[in-house]
Structure 1
């Protein structure tokens, strides 16, 4: 949303994701080529502050490449990324983290040789003073149902506990935007329900925007505000989960159905 005063000049990033816009992130014409392969193609994607968006699509649709472009792990071949009023297209990953973008990978990347509390101190040392470590650690671990595992070596946690710990580590950075790649892969039905509740709480109560890559359509139906379908590196469909599930073309490309 542009400013109403025509005498005030603003940048596209401010117009699209600044204080006068409800969007926290907007990409324009985002493309990534690997040699002769186009992994993402002219992607215009936007997400509101506090929105929980699921990103679905068949294997090779460009979902992980898209997240890696947002985090700065990959440089785009073309296009722009606007975030919270700034053009972050050329920023390195660590600077994006400092601006409030955090990432939760598909395979938990906790430090298995450190305790649960020590894992949390790694991100916390970037945002809180040392004398607040214990109080903030306790607060996060209690929220993520890991307080009893304070001194447990992370490598001894269950897969579900490691997933919760890594989400807790991402939240310790006090992000405005969190990116999650298949956060419930390999989890039980009960663990999946717990993660769903956590993610909805993070969006609704903390106002964090979440982009979640997920294959489990039932999980998507449980958590998503809106769903974006990628196919062939481009946005194929976008809308509420009810519309996405009912779309015959989505069923064909994503669910493998002919009708």
Structure 2
């Protein structure tokens, strides 16, 4: 059993890295994940600043999904630490991380097909004491789903299901939203809709970490881009610098340096 002294020892680095005296909301320290002889994430020091939209890109097998799963608690790290908003998440259960202010939207829509749009939005609200009527109205309007509030989620298009799941995450009023390839399989118009939704939420103060392959989408939304390659951070910077980097184009965009 952990003693108060043990807990304080665990808290102090988290507070120093992501507490009120810093603008950093999420930080990993020497985060590593081994699968047998394969190191999928290799000593990653990574941080996201409050109020930014950070995009995480890289070639297939770079470790992007593994890093996201470590942050969300779906995987346990082999080594290293994960800090969020002054709290050490490293050994925290997945569902408890949501209560710290993190919401997650995975690549494939995870909506309740047999429930209506409004009923889907009510599900996460059961975890909160927020004003249900007000939050529902705001979220339906923001996701452009008000006209379909009574329709079963099974009748929605792929893009509408993605917007609904983002809306479900938004109802929790998170400090940080994690999005895993939110526009995968979408049309150009649907992609533009999601970009507008993310920018609108960002304008209201929400912080985002977005894993994405679609570079057009990344250009639309990103403040700063992190490139992961072979489990390590390869480059970080504004999208203009990342796209101009010959080594990034070689490993990610498939161009000759």
TM-score, normalised to structure 2, is: 0.94
Structure 2 residues not aligned, in runs of 5+:
1-8
Distance in 1 between residues matched to 2:148 and 2:246, nearest whole Å: 46
Aligned match of 1:183: 182
Distance in 1 between residues matched to 2:126 and 2:94, nearest whole Å: 18
Distance in 1 between residues matched to 2:105 and 2:169, nearest whole Å: 7
Aligned match of 2:15: 14
Q: Quick one: which of 226, 229, 237 aligns to 1:228?
A: 226
Deviation of 1:194 after TM superposition, in Å, equals: 1.1
Q: How does 1:74-153 map to 2 (within 5 A)?
A: 74-128=75-129, 132-153=131-152
Distance in 1 between residues matched to 2:123 and 2:168, nearest whole Å: 8
Q: Quick one: which of 216, 219, 225 aligns to 2:217?
A: 219
Structure 1 residues not aligned, in runs of 5+:
1-8
Distance in 2 between residues matched to 1:257 and 1:120, nearest whole Å: 43
Distance in 1 between residues matched to 2:18 and 2:183, nearest whole Å: 30
Distance in 2 between residues matched to 1:113 and 1:94, nearest whole Å: 23
Distance in 1 between residues matched to 2:105 and 2:51, nearest whole Å: 17
Deviation of 1:101 after TM superposition, in Å, equals: 0.7
Distance in 1 between residues matched to 2:220 and 2:242, nearest whole Å: 14
The alignment of Structure 1 onto Structure 2 pairs a total of residues equal to: 248
Distance in 1 between residues matched to 2:52 and 2:36, nearest whole Å: 34
Deviation of 1:128 after TM superposition, in Å, equals: 2.7
Instruction: Give the stretch that moved more between structures: 133-142 or 40-49.
Output: 133-142
Aligned match of 1:165: 164
Aligned match of 1:194: 193
Deviation of 1:98 after TM superposition, in Å, equals: 0.7
Output one character per residue of 1:47-82: Cα deviation in whole Å (capped at 9) or x when no partner. 111110000000000000000000011000000011
Distance in 2 between residues matched to 1:173 and 1:37, nearest whole Å: 36
SS in 2 for 1:123: helix
Deviation of 1:204 after TM superposition, in Å, equals: 2.1
Output one character per residue of 1:163-221: Cα deviation in whole Å (capped at 9) or x when no partner. 0000000011111111101111111111111111111121221x221111111111111
1:155 aligns with 2:154: yes
